[in-house]
Amino acid sequence: MKHVWKHIRLGLCLTLCLTMSPFKAHGAERLVVADTRALLSGLVHLAAEKGYFSEEGLEVQINDFATGDEATRAMFEGKADIASVAETVLVFDTFREKDFGIFATIGSWDNEVKIVARADRNIARIEDLRGKIVATQAKFSTHYFLYQALLKHGLTMGDIKPLFMKSAELPAALEAGDIDAFSSREPFIGEARQRLGGKVQVFAEPGVYWKSFNLVARNETLKKHSAGALPKFLRALLKAEQLVQQQPQEAAAILAKRFKTSPEQMAAELAEVKLRLGLEQRLLYTLESVATWAVQENLVPDKNIPNYLRLIHPEPLLAVKPNAVTVIR
């Protein structure tokens, strides 16, 4: 009898070990995210800080990048599963990359990008930029915004002296007096204010450009994880979205630390920005508008505008927040 119980106990032990070993070997599903350091990707940072990814059974490694171009490059090179990026960078990606798709918008704002000018260069309004050296990063949302803002005020890129440089270089160039103004976003606007002791003019043009941040992945990742890890990732972001809506002060405090600003300033920005999951028809319109601009300005060699509807992969979001998908397919 003892011999029989010994074999039973041994069998139970082996069964338990076999049951537990996959969990020990694989653990939680793992995703690497190339995240652009911008407020519009704030849901990703909030979800990480609050532990929402772990709650959904995910192990998420977030790698910060200064620009969306760097983030998508990491994704295309296989160094990340997901990238967060503005749609302007996406447009330029579509002219050279075909093997990827968009599965969610995570933030949008019509007042993120602004023009910052030195207060001592006689620039009291956007029209005063005529003949001035105005810098921005080429082929980015800040470039597209500058084009649109000038157009609204009766100017073109030919009426200014455009200078293209990396976004991180803009505040120092403004401080040194090498440029008269630049078009950019936070944290570069705030850095310029600090460097010049607040002696800057900041021009906002709400409504000129509705910018969005989106989650993209290679087709292989979308095929592999659309029914598993990606919906879990989005559920974590949905919790972050609810945090912004229900506990805005807590969300502002967390994001203020990330962007080195005051909770009050962050709260004011969160009152404007739309940090929400979605896939709206407006995204397609913006992608096509930016692509048309890129072609007309000879910023891309190909003159054929891609079919952006083919880039939309709504399945992960439909499993989490179906009413947020309004793209007409």
Which of 65, 298, 286 has its CA nearest to residue 166? 65
Domain limits for position 82: 28-110+211-324
Q: Answer for the pair 118, 193: CB distance below 8 angstroms, yes or no.
A: no
Q: Output the pLDDT for position 27.
A: 63
Shared domain for 94 and 225, answered yes or no, is yes
Task: Work out the burial of residue 121: count CB atoms within 10 Å of its CB; fewer than 13 is exposed, 13-18 middle, 19 or more buried.
Answer: middle
Q: Report the CATH number at residue 64.
A: 3.40.190.10
Shared domain for 199 and 258, answered yes or no, is no
- 155 contacts: CB under 8 Å, gap ≥ 6: 126, 127, 129, 130
Shared domain for 217 and 160, answered yes or no, is no
Shared domain for 248 and 290, answered yes or no, is yes
Shared domain for 177 and 278, answered yes or no, is no
Give the Cβ contact number of residue 315 at 10 Å. 14
Q: Output the pLDDT for position 62.
A: 97
Q: Output the pLDDT for position 66.
A: 87
What pairs with residue 114 in β-bridges?
Answer: 184
Per-position pLDDT tens, the chain of length 329:
444 444 444 444 434 343 333 333 346 799 999 999 999 999 999 999 999 999 999 999 999 998 899 999 999 999 999 999 999 999 999 998 889 999 999 999 999 999 999 999 999 999 999 999 999 999 999 999 999 999 999 999 999 999 999 999 999 999 999 999 999 988 899 899 999 998 999 999 999 999 999 999 999 999 999 999 999 999 999 999 999 999 999 999 999 999 888 999 999 999 999 999 999 999 999 999 999 999 999 999 888 999 999 999 999 999 999 999 999 87
Distance CA 98, CA 40 (A): 25
Q: Which amino acid is at 198?
A: G
Residue 269 dihedral angles phi and psi, to the nearest 5°: -70, -40
Residue 328 token pair: 């007409």
- Among 203, 221, 242, the domain boundary falls at 203
Distance CA 156, CA 93 (A): 25
Residue 298 lies in a domain: yes
**CB half-sphere exposure, 198, CA atoms < 13 A:** 0
Residue 43 lies in a domain: yes
- CA 21 to chain CA centroid, Å, is 37
Shared domain for 273 and 159, answered yes or no, is no
Residue 180 lies in a domain: yes
The pairing of beta strand 100-109 with beta strand 211-218: antiparallel
Please state the pTM of the whole predicted model: 0.84
